[in-house]
Amino acid sequence: MLSPVYIRQFLALLVAAAIIGIAVVVIRNASQESKPVAPADQLLPQNIDIALKKARFSEIQDGLLVWELIADRAEYDKTGDTVYLRDIRMEFQKTASQGAITVTSASGEYFVAKKDISLKGNVHVVTDDGAHFVTESITFKGAVDHFTTEAPVTFTQQRIQLNATGMDLGVKNQKAYFKSSVFATVVAN
């Protein structure tokens, strides 16, 4: 049988080996260069207070959802009045008198106090009845529920395609008014 003296020496040797092993691991990990992590306030531009992924905004009137906007990224400026948006999908709900409208855009700005939304980059406006508007920029005026643009617009529906510069489109009546001469093409069946 082993003497208690040998057991104590064996245990002391085992503890010493464990301490040396831990010290080697700590020194090895500390010596490896690690990338410094930037503070959160340095990751955002100076004028941005908060940034969100998959942000959702909505307008409710008389207890009913009027429109909903989903952006892959939303950045609030420090004043809280402007939200910078990317990869936008905005949906206007179907009403008893009109169909739904879907708007997509690469980027935009939501002016919270005015409830205006400026959309830029590959803007598509599509109605339930198949009307399709394409432009590079358009602004939704929340106070009067309509879209307006001074940019060139291409409109297509069924067999007709027309091009114009500038347009107003009412959300509630879904009537478009073009601000310039219109060049139209009708495609034969």
Q: Residue 53 sits in a domain of what CATH number?
A: 2.60.450.10
User: Does residue 132 contact residue 125 with C-beta atoms inside 8 Å?
Assistant: yes
Specify the pLDDT at position 169: 95
Least confident of 11-25, 108-122, 133-147, 156-170: 11-25
18/50 same-domain check: no
- Whether 26 and 93 map to the same domain: the answer is no
Same domain, 2 and 23: yes
Is residue 8 a part of any domain in this protein? yes
Whether 60 is in a domain gets the answer yes
Q: What is the mean pLDDT of the chain?
A: 86
Return the closest-CA partner of residue 130 out of 90, 174, 71: 174
pLDDT at 1: 60
Q: Quick check: 120 pLDDT over 70?
A: yes
Q: Is it the case that residue 33 has pLDDT exceeding 80?
A: no
- Comparing 89 with 63, the larger pLDDT belongs to 89
Residues 162, 108, single domain; the answer is yes
What are the E-state strand segments in 112-188? Answer: 116-127, 132-141, 146-157, 160-170, 176-178, 183-186
CB 69 within 8 A of CB 56: yes
Altogether, the residues listed in the chain come to a count of 189
Identify whether 39 is part of a domain. Answer: no
Question: Is pLDDT at 55 greater than 80 in this prediction?
Answer: yes
Residues 30 and 64 in one domain: no
Burial tier of 133 (Cβ tally within 10 Å: 0-12, 13-18, 19+): buried
Residue 186: what residue type?
V
Within 13 Å and on the Cβ side, how many CA atoms surround 27?
Answer: 6
Are residue 13 and residue 65 in the same domain, yes or no? no
Question: 24 and 91 in one domain?
Answer: no
What's the pLDDT band for 37 if we cut at 50, 70, 90?
A: low
40 domain residue, yes or no: no
- Are 171 and 116 in a shared domain? yes
**Shared-domain flag, residues 119 and 152:** yes
Look at the chain and report how many structural domains it folds into: 2
pTM: 0.72
Burial class (CB in 10 A: 0-12, 13-18, 19+), 134: middle
pLDDT confidence bin for 41, thresholds 50/70/90: very low
Residue 24 domain boundaries? 1-34
Residue 83 lies in a domain: yes
Q: What are phi and psi of 105, to 5 degrees?
A: -160, 155
Same-domain status, 84 and 171: yes
Shared domain check, 165 and 98: yes
Residue 74 is inside which H or E element, if any? strand 64-77
Average pLDDT over every residue of 50-69? 89
pLDDT at 117: 96
Q: Are residues 82 and 118 in the same domain?
A: yes
Residue 82 clears pLDDT 60, i.e. is over it: yes
Least confident stretch, 30-39, 83-92, 107-116, 173-182: 30-39
